[in-house]
Chains A and B, each alone.
Chain A
Amino acid sequence: MSSQIALPILIPLLSGALSLVFWRFRGMQRFIAVGGTAALLLSSIWLLGEVNAHGILVSQMGSWPAPFGISLVADLLGAIMVLLTGIIGFAVAIYSLATIGRGHEAFGYFPLMHLLLAGVAGAFLTGDIFNLYVWFEVMLVASFALLILGSEKAQMEGAIKYVTLNLVSSVIFLIAVGLLYGKVGTLNMADIASRLAAMEGDGMVDVLAMMFMVAFGIKAAAFPLFFWLPASYHTPPVAVSALFAGLLTKVGVYALYRVFTLIFHHSPGYTHEILVWGAGLTMLSGVLGAAAQYEFRRILSFHIVSQIGYMILGLALFTPLAIIGGVFYIMHHIIVKTNLFLISGIVHRLRGTYDLKKLGGIYRRYPWLAVLFLIPALSLAGVPPLSGFFAKFIVIRAAIEAEAYGVTFIALLVGLLTLYSMIKIWAEVFWKSAPEDGDTDPYPEISHREVWLVAAPVVALAVCTLLIGLNAEPIHALAEASATQLLAPERYIEAVLGTSQEVQP
């Protein structure tokens, strides 16, 4: 019974609709926020368990046989991504209870959050290319609205760039889908893959691959298409930043993985070679961007870009090991980056600013926060034995074994510069004494309840980071199994199209 694949989409949709109905009831909205995301988390755990046990799961929406209806497909990568969505959603929901202002709550923060999660989960689970577009739009419009909630000047300026460039990406995607349908007459990704395989030698496949690459490259914030991200990610409330940082670009990365393993894998010498260069430049430009920043969230934002490069590199090298590395990297990164943003929010809550030059003295006053920062920060920089190390290690090993030395060098250099950035934050925010005379604290004391609400998700995510590092074997095994699936697209195709006879209504 694989119909429950839809649950991770329907649960947040339902939560979103319900919170919309309870628009005026703040308590109810908060209750749904926690309950809904918890349900999402549970369903995603269940889903991953099922997929792990039984292989790729497929559900034909409306009982229409593939490829005619819309198929929901949960392979390991999809299920892993959904689980991460659940984790991040739940963590951010808890965190939001303490940090989101009443104004934001009164104007739809929670419904928007649920629907963002729904869009993300939908994108991870759909097996239909146009349906993917739809979920992208759900996610996108939810993120638009979250981005502008509060109507600050910076939010508006950032949002214009964010909206415009993401819409351009959507349109490119749409054009590509239109052309693809015109060419192969189907929308089901498995069907597209099998039909294109039959058309091998038709160069249009590569042309379409380029369109998808750019469309998803924009969503993933790859070089040189990332402009929208640093322009906007530091402007909304921090819980929103954290949600975006963890999930949004990863949807782009996921889409690249999906499309370039399932559909466009026939001429890796061309398509994936371009991806290699894109990945290298993404890493480098992102990390250099961060080096020029002196604002907590801006640094983190640029680092999203550079880390995206590693993930794309895993795909681009297109060896089993590289894909393992890429998948591992995604898992690690989502947790770590979200956590860093959440921590930046706590610092902001304590000191009222994100500006490194105005911050300081946290290490002395709040050593627990310093430790909580160090775990994800060092993990991001790939310091062993945290999660980021293994992620980076596998990717680099794959790069060396694929004899891609240039990009290996970049990857190593970027690791160093990432550490530099994290250390910069550490030194400025935590070690340095606060600029205006040490321990006088003009900010209102943080209440106990608030501390628990903001610290719980941060601690939980830090524990995840530690666990992924110290107990890397299961995660690695998962990534390995997922990579095996990704590199055997025929299994995906078989799972989707092979079952079509039985579900004939």
Chain B
Amino acid sequence: MEPLMAVSIGVLFACAIYMMLRRSIVKLVIGLMLLSNAANLLIFSTAGMERGRPPLVPEGMAAPAGSVADPLPQALVLTAIVIAFGVLSFSVVLLRRAWEVVRADDLDKMKDTDT
């Protein structure tokens, strides 16, 4: 499954980047969403994927019998998902405020702060 995921994640990243390179801020935000999702999947699948063995210790046991999916990347991804959610909600609102202030969805019209 991992090689298939590698390709899928590549496509996801490509989509994300493509969206971010557009001039519309809305597309930029959608690109950011795709980007963080792709990164999370990458962490998840690069560590190896395991079918049907969630990292849970059965009731009454000290450790799972046999191998389980690596819990650490899962915890990392969980953290990353929540962080991405926070960042994304911020960006979404930022884009709305930017639209209200600049009155354009066109990023090319937002270059006053550079020279």
Contact = CB atoms under 8 A, between A and B. Distances in A.
Q: Do chains A and B touch in the complex (CB under 8 A)?
A: yes
A105 B115 CA distance: 31
A212 to B, nearest CB: 15
Contacts of B87: 137, 140-141, 144, 163, 167
A413 B35 CA distance: 40
B30 interface: no
Contact of B102 (A145, A153, A227, A298): A153
Given A151-B97, A235-B113, A160 B43 contact: no
Interface of B: 20, 25, 28, 32, 35-36, 39, 42-43, 46-48, 72-73, 76, 79-80, 83, 86-87, 90-91, 94-95, 97-98, 101-102, 107, 110-115
Given A156-B98, A163-B94, A171 B28 contact: no
A177 B25 CA distance: 28
Given A134-B83, A160-B25, A160-B110, A293 B98 contact: no
A158 interface: yes
A157 B28 contact: no
Contact of B94 (A159, A227, A234): A159
Contact of B112 (A144, A145, A154, A168): A154
B55 to A, nearest CB: 15
B115 A182 contact: no
B1 to A, nearest CB: 14
Nearest to A230: B114
Interface string A125-160: 000001001100100110011001001111011111
Contacts of B110: 156-157, 160
Contact of A160 (B72, B79, B80, B107): B107
A174 to B, nearest CB: 5
Nearest to A145: B90
Nearest to B76: A130
Contact of B90 (A134, A141, A153): A141
B24 to A, nearest CB: 12
A134 B90 CA distance: 17
A179 B25 CA distance: 30
Contacts of A144: 87, 90, 94
B113 A234 contact: yes
Contact of B113 (A141, A145, A154, A175): A154
Contacts, number: 102
A231 B39 contact: no
Nearest to B99: A156
Contact of A157 (B35, B46, B102): B102
A292 interface: yes
B42 A178 contact: yes
A164 interface: yes
Given A137-B87, A232-B113, A181 B98 contact: no
Top 7 A-B pairs ranked by shortest CB distance? A182-B46, A178-B43, A157-B110, A156-B98, A158-B113, A174-B39, A153-B101
Contacts of A234: 113
A157 B115 contact: no
15 contacts: A134-B79, A134-B83, A154-B113, A156-B110, A157-B102, A157-B110, A157-B113, A163-B87, A171-B35, A174-B43, A174-B80, A175-B42, A177-B43, A182-B48, A293-B115
A411 to B, nearest CB: 25
B107 A181 contact: no
Given A164-B32, A181-B47, A157 B80 contact: no
Given A156-B98, A160-B98, A182-B48, 12 more contacts: A153-B112, A157-B112, A163-B90, A163-B91, A168-B20, A171-B35, A175-B39, A178-B42, A178-B47, A181-B46, A182-B47, A292-B115
Given A174-B43, A178-B73, A231-B113, A156 B102 contact: yes
Interface in A162-211: 163-164, 167-168, 171, 174-175, 177-179, 181-182, 187
Contacts of A151: 97, 101
Nearest to B86: A141
A148 B93 CA distance: 11
B72 to A, nearest CB: 7
